[in-house]
Amino acid sequence: MEIRIESISKSFGDVRALVDVTFDVNAGELFGLIGPDGGGKTTLFRILTTLMLPDSGNAVVAGYPISDYQAIRRSVGYMPGRFSLYPDLTVEENLKFFASIFGTTVEKNYELIRDIYVQIEPFRDRRAGALSGGMKQKLALCCALIHRPKVLFLDEPTTGVDPVSRKEFWEMLDRLRQDGMAILVSTAYMDEASLCDRVALIHQGKILTTDTPANITVTFGRPLYAIRTSNVYEVTRDIESYAYARTIYPFGEHLHYTDKREKPDPIELEDFLRGKGHHDIELTAIEPTIEDAFMELAETHSQILTQ
């Protein structure tokens, strides 16, 4: 096990950033920490990378307790959410600098970063500040990998990156995992969760669940319907007055609907909406996604809190 987190809590004044967080990440595993902004993801990263001390709880990273910060700093790679390389140094200079402060050279670990580095190599003499968003992330990943860490921490690596670069980025992570590296990656994009081996859903500092993406969607456990309509607002309002309606969430141009009954009656719902004057609607049964599971769990979580 490369990361073991045992009931870590951290508060900033009255704000409870992390509440009793516990999970493990194995070697060769791509582990996703999924949750909205302000959920406590970055705080957990800062604790695991020894930049911050937890109020309570323990963690072991790469075989060292987090109090042994010197050992951990030698064996982990960290890519903060904010681009944090030297914008006035070139691509190559940044890479060489980070290699040298870890007491290694770019040549020694070149094959580890080769697949990524070849994509930015044409710009090796360009200053890092002048790179595009996707290029910056690739360079940051190279710099975080250059000392061949055992554990890699990536804090929202794909935020603000275009879809093509995002896809490439995840393909690279997949390759690194196959090398046996433990990777903890956080993201607010629910669609990226399915690319992880296992995910933990985090909300308001609490881990809602930890499982494989497939299992999480299975535990959703209810029939789910997508409603397509041109009038999202009106339809949402009307469905809320439908007697059997349980939840209704907007998902892009669709609405996701669950029913209070075990076996919902889609025809009845369609009739109900027609009766309200909505004619251009389309109702289809769909498989739940991680995002549906997240909304469901977050809802239950807040209900527990309010009770």
Partner 1 sequence: MKTIFHLLKKEFRQIFRNRAMLPILFVMPAVQLLVLSFAATFEVKNISLHIVDNDQSSLSRDLTQKFLVSDHFKLTGISFSSDEALDDMQRHNTDVILHIPEHFERDLVRNQKAKLMLSINAIDGAAAAVENAYATTIIHDFNENIRIRMADQISLTGQPKVLSVTQSFWFNPELDYKTFMVPGILVLLVTMIAIFLAGMNIVREKEIGTLEQINVTPIKKHQFIIGKLLPFWILALVELGVGLIMCRVIFGIGVAGSIWVVFLFAAVYLLVVLGIGLFISNFTHTQQQAMFLSWFFMVIFILMSGLFTPIDSMPHWAQVITEFNPVRYFVEVMRMVMLKGAQLPDILPQLSKLLVYALVMNGLAVAGYRKVA
Contact residues toward partner 1 (CB under 8 A) are: 46, 49-53, 69-70, 73-74, 76, 78, 80, 82-89, 93, 97-98, 100-103, 143
Smallest separation (angstroms) from partner 1 to the CB of 211? 29
Structure tokens at 288: 């739940």
1 versus 51: smaller Cβ distance to partner 1: 51
CB 177 within 8 A of CB 30: yes
CA distances from 195 to 33, 60, 139, 186, 211 (A): 12, 25, 22, 12, 13
> Which amino acid is located at 213 in the chain?
P
52 versus 283: smaller Cβ distance to partner 1: 52
Smallest separation (angstroms) from partner 1 to the CB of 182? 16
Q: Kindly give, in sequence order, each residue whose CB lies less than 8 Å from that of residue 63, ignoring residues fewer than 6 positions away.
A: 2, 75, 150
Of 197, 186, 181, which is closest to residue 75 (Cα–Cα)? 181
50 versus 204: smaller Cβ distance to partner 1: 50
Angle at CA of residue 75, ends 99 and 122, nearest 5°: 35
Residue 121, sorted as left (phi over 0), alpha (psi -120 to 50) or beta, turns out to be: alpha
Residue 16, sorted as left (phi over 0), alpha (psi -120 to 50) or beta, turns out to be: beta
33 versus 297: smaller Cβ distance to partner 1: 33
Please list the alpha-helical segments (H only) found in 36-132: 41-48, 69-75, 91-101, 110-120
Smallest separation (angstroms) from partner 1 to the CB of 261? 51
80 versus 288: smaller Cβ distance to partner 1: 80
Smallest separation (angstroms) from partner 1 to the CB of 129? 9
Smallest separation (angstroms) from partner 1 to the CB of 282? 46
Smallest separation (angstroms) from partner 1 to the CB of 273? 50
85 versus 297: smaller Cβ distance to partner 1: 85
Length of the chain: 307
DSSP 244-284: TEEEEEEETTEEEEEESSSS--HHHHHHHHHHTT--S-EEE
Smallest separation (angstroms) from partner 1 to the CB of 101? 5
88 versus 253: smaller Cβ distance to partner 1: 88
